[in-house]
Structure 1
Amino acid sequence: MLYLAGFEGLLPRDKYDIKKVEKLKKLDRNIVESLLPELLVFIQDTNWPVAPGVLEILLTFPKEIVPYVQDVLASDDDNWKWFILHFLVIELPVESRMQFTAYLSRVAETPTANELAEELDEIAKEILATL
């Protein structure tokens, strides 16, 4: 895992561990920043109880989160991409959203069958219209 040794106990144990999310909000930014890739996992479904709190944390790292979001967007998990685009990317400042222009343009113009099924082309167009 990518996080710093010794900090794994700071992550939520599961999608119901709201208490750990609240503790994360109070930690030093440098510690939380080291956990960003793992925190993204907790927004694979924004219906999970931990998701709103995790999103709140992630949005406080608009520049730092970009490479980790790009990793998700490069994956095959189109459902996760839907949540990432709808609840995280669209809420980032313009400077951060611009980092996803190439991906968003490709999905808006030439979506795969799976991307069409998840309606990623629609959210991509919506985000592009805000740039």
Structure 2
Amino acid sequence: MENLNLYLPKDKYDFDSVTVLNNLENSKVILLITSLLEWLQDINWPISTEIAKLLLKYREETIPHVKEVLNAKDDIWKEWCLRYFVMELPDDFIIEFKDELIRIAYDPTKGEELEEVNETAQMILELIKDR
């Protein structure tokens, strides 16, 4: 069996791996989504936005993993997932996050408030309200 982890970026400057991932079979990339999502923990890493764009190609498969992040405790990771993944989705996919967005927007944890994740959730809810 092929070791798919060989396709994962080795460091925050590994754009070559991102290029390979963009050309890899869908079924292989799907198996790597959880590991790829970890690159959104710090959007200041140079490859992070490229990884976010890659994950947007696998919307349906990535959504459950992003929901896990939104229900976990890493508030900065939540912010980056909302800004660089959820906010970039078409409305019919954003709706799948409605419960998480409402909870974060109107009943945030102290950490979510401190990192202003609640404001991002409110902004996303406003975007889809008008459409």
Structure 1 position 128 matched with structure 2 position 125? yes
The answer to whether the Cα contact below 8 Å between 1:22 and 1:53 also exists between their aligned partners in 2 is no
Counterpart of 2:66?
A: 69
TM (norm. structure 1) is 0.92
| Aligned pairs for 1:38-57 within 5 A | 38-57=35-54
Counterpart of 2:113?
A: 116
Distance 2:63 2:35 in 1: 14
The answer to whether the Cα contact below 8 Å between 2:104 and 2:121 also exists between their aligned partners in 1 is yes
- Structure 2 stretches lacking a partner, 5+ long: none
- Match 1:102 to one of 81, 99, 103: 99
- Match 1:78 to one of 49, 70, 75: 75
> Could you say what secondary structure the match of 1:64 adopts?
helix
What's the % identity of the aligned pairs? 37
Where has structure 1 moved over 6 Å in runs of 4 or more?
A: none
Letter in 2 for 1:16: Y
Letter in 1 for 2:106: E
The answer to whether the Cα contact below 8 Å between 1:69 and 1:84 also exists between their aligned partners in 2 is yes
Deviations 1:39-79 (CA, angstroms, capped at 9, x unpaired)? 00011111111112111110111111110001111111001
> Could you say what secondary structure the match of 1:76 adopts?
coil
Aligned residue pairs, count: 128
The answer to whether the Cα contact below 8 Å between 2:7 and 2:21 also exists between their aligned partners in 1 is yes
Counterpart of 2:57?
A: 60
Q: Which has the higher helix share?
A: 2
Letter in 2 for 1:99: E
- Structure 1 stretches lacking a partner, 5+ long: none
Deviation for aligned residue 1:130: 2.1
Distance 1:5 1:80 in 2: 30
